[in-house]
Amino acid sequence: MTRVLLPLPVVLPLLTAGLSILLARHQRIQRLLSVLVLSTVVVIAGVLLHTADTVGPAVVQLGGWAAPAGISLVADRLSALLLLVSATVLLAVLLYAIGQGIADGRRSTLAVFHPCYLVLAAGISMAFLTGDLFNLFVAFEVMLVASYVLITLDGGAAQVRAGMTYVVVSLLASVLFVTAIGLVYAATGTVNMADAAVRLQDVPEGVRLVLGLVLLVVFGIKAAIFPLFSWLPDSYPTAPSPVTAVFAGLLTKVGVYAILRTQTLLFPGSQMIGRVLLVIAILTMVVGILGALVQDDLKRLLSFTIVGHIGYMIFGLGLASSAGLAGAILYTVHHIVVQTTLFLVAGLVERREG
């Protein structure tokens, strides 16, 4: 059963996105398809979480190729939990967007919102479920393409400028990510995370430290940790409120998830990386809150609070304890829901007060 269900959170939104483009002139059908697909993903995520909690992690090798050569999808309790929360948030924001008329106005805008939103949903699902670094990179690129279109949805000068900032920073992170993947492959002969975790035990400590720090920088850009956060307050406030809500609630948490996954699986017990994480976490907390204090724009204020809260999640990981990791995961789930809601409320205030 899980062999059939596991690929669906990625495949269904992608297929429906293509169909939605063909139905660009039928807006009601577009909306209905988007709601049905994301509702289905929520149900599937719930089943996967229940299976992971009661039976154990679900693993599927796509294309008949066994790991580490093939593409692996893995749903353990962490990935299934975040998949369920993210799918629920994506569905809730979609309903908000439909109700508030995020794409009202030009037909061309209406035509691209739902397909891009579904592609973004597929990328987020893939990031949580993939079992190898290369397909995590692919998931990031899928999210990047959809994100740029959604940021620039209304075509204003400020949005295009913010979109370009987001793209440039993301492309730099992508180049560094590809480099990191190459380094991991050179050191271990694999990009499958479970397989690499075993082989890294035989790699010299200095090499492991370099790999861990490079991956931390890559995912730190996505998570907006200190000092890699400056793109976030400039990019998020200009996008339409439902889009900003999804970005604030989910995209930075994909980066946090990647840090949690790689640091605990590939580099467990590294005292040096743990110290680095604690220092970065404290600086991220302080900078985020200080930045929020001097803002007079609600969305920019909330954007800086995202940075501050990311610091708390990284701090839990840096403690290198079961309680710290559990706290980081709980805080991540809590922040997804709360931050998304705050940006939706900010959108209502902006819509009402102008």
Both 116 and 211 in one domain: the answer is no
For residues 67-81, average pLDDT: 87
Both 32 and 179 in one domain: the answer is no
Query: Lowest mean pLDDT: which of 22-26, 189-193, 274-278?
Result: 22-26
User: Residue 144: inside a domain, yes or no?
Assistant: no
In total, how many domains does the chain have?
2
Both 105 and 38 in one domain: the answer is yes
Q: Is 30 helix (H, G, I), strand (E, B) or coil?
A: helix
User: Residue 146: inside a domain, yes or no?
Assistant: no
Q: Specify the pLDDT at position 103.
A: 45
Both 293 and 247 in one domain: the answer is yes
Q: Is 354 helix (H, G, I), strand (E, B) or coil?
A: coil
Both 189 and 267 in one domain: the answer is yes
Both 91 and 196 in one domain: the answer is no
User: Residue 145: inside a domain, yes or no?
Assistant: no
8 Å CB contact between 227 and 233: no
Joined together, the tokens standing for residue 206 give: 């200095």
More confident residue, 166 or 257: 257
User: Residue 278: inside a domain, yes or no?
Assistant: yes
For residues 139-151, average pLDDT: 93
For residues 151-157, average pLDDT: 76
Q: Which domain holds residue 32?
A: 1-131
Q: Specify the pLDDT at position 314.
A: 97
Q: Specify the pLDDT at position 239.
A: 81
pLDDT tens figures, 226-271:
999 988 888 888 888 888 999 999 999 999 999 999 999 999 988 8
Q: What spatial distance separates the first Cα and last Cα of the chain, rounded to whole Å?
A: 50
User: Residue 138: inside a domain, yes or no?
Assistant: no
| Sole residue written with tokens 């670094």 | 133
Both 2 and 82 in one domain: the answer is yes
Task: Answer whether residue 13 shows pLDDT above 70.
Answer: yes
Task: Answer whether residue 29 shows pLDDT above 50.
Answer: yes
User: Residue 316: inside a domain, yes or no?
Assistant: yes
8 Å CB contact between 245 and 340: yes
Both 111 and 24 in one domain: the answer is yes
8 Å CB contact between 133 and 193: yes
Provide, for the chain, the percentages of residues in helix, strand and coil under a 3-state DSSP scheme, each rounded to the nearest 5: 80, 5, 15
Q: Tell me which residue of 10, 73, 2, 87 sits closest to 43, measured CA to CA.
A: 87
For residues 59-84, average pLDDT: 86
Both 169 and 54 in one domain: the answer is no
Both 178 and 321 in one domain: the answer is yes
Task: Answer whether residue 102 shows pLDDT above 60.
Answer: no
pLDDT tens figures, 313-338:
999 999 989 999 999 999 999 999 99
Both 185 and 230 in one domain: the answer is yes
The model's confidence at residue 341, banded by pLDDT at 50, 70 and 90, is very high
pTM summary value: 0.94
Both 249 and 319 in one domain: the answer is yes
